[in-house]
Amino acid sequence: MLIELSDDMPVTCADTILFRLSMLGITPVLAHPERHPEIARSPAVIESFVRHGGKLQITAPALLGEAGRRERRVCERLLRQGLVAVLATDAHGVEDAGCLGRALARATKWIGSAAEDLVSRIPAEILGLA
């Protein structure tokens, strides 16, 4: 299930959501972690969520800096720390999906071929397709 924390929700809410959804056999995928003020200040605050099975999904425009330098830096830190499960388009229509290739190329520069897993293997596993 794709979830998002509003800025005023503490990151610990993600742990509570993870626990409750896990009881139902649902894996929460946290969208836009790079936007959350607590995570932006210290990406380590989301480690517990990831360690317990939650997934982080960053988006291509944020990674490419289209949402500002701060979000780009947070994306890079989350990627380099191995906390990201999914790199997504944030597309609200097929016409918005074109930046994924550029984002994948950038991510590959930072973390190597493991970036490919973020757009193929791991999303497929989350969807039960792999």
Instruction: Note the residues at the interface with Fe ion (CB under 5 A).
Output: 90
Smallest separation (angstroms) from Fe ion to the CB of 35:
9
Instruction: Report the residue closest to Fe ion, judged by CB.
Output: 90
HEC letters along 59-123: EHHHHCCCCCHHHHHHHHHHHHCCCCCEEECCCCCHHHHHHHHHHHHHHHHHHCCHHHHCCCHHH
Which token pair is 75?
Answer: 């994306």
CB 34 within 8 A of CB 41: no
What's the distance, CA 79 to chain centroid?
Answer: 9
Nearer to Fe ion among residue 34 and residue 76 (C-beta) = 34
Nearer to Fe ion among residue 23 and residue 94 (C-beta) = 94
Rounded to whole angstroms, the Cα distance separating 121 from 87 reads 11
Smallest separation (angstroms) from Fe ion to the CB of 66:
12
Nearer to Fe ion among residue 71 and residue 90 (C-beta) = 90
Nearer to Fe ion among residue 62 and residue 83 (C-beta) = 62
Smallest separation (angstroms) from Fe ion to the CB of 53:
22
Smallest separation (angstroms) from Fe ion to the CB of 31:
6
